[in-house]
Structure 1
Amino acid sequence: MSSDTTDQPARRVYRTVTPPYRGRSDEEMNLVGYLLIAGLLILLIPLGPVLLLLWLLALVRRDLRRRDVV
């Protein structure tokens, strides 16, 4: 028997059986996210004033109902 077979603690301990993953930038998914944001902005910018007007009308209507005017 050789003397190299003595019990020694492990030098590196991994919590997985697969090799570690070296991350990288995920540019494809970033592009998809940017396109989704651009699409939402293209839709919401023209609708913004209409939504703001409807919200303000709802606030005024609620305030008038609380005062029992309508």
Structure 2
Amino acid sequence: MKWAPVKDAAAYRLYWRRADRNDWSDGRVVLSDASTEVVWSGAIVDDNFFGVSALSVDDRESIVTLGGLPPAQ
């Protein structure tokens, strides 16, 4: 999953959940000076939803944006 960097974001929170669930079940934080890309090894794309939110320095969080297919080339 790739995402565009957010100005002044201190970190990003990555979320995932099974496609048959309503709530995010898992997450992890990635610092903003790290990559804006993560590889979900072993995750079956058809069975899961993935999302990312931006975190400010005082831990305020943006709305979660769902990952999708890249634009057609």
TM-score (norm 1): 0.17
Greater fraction helix: 1
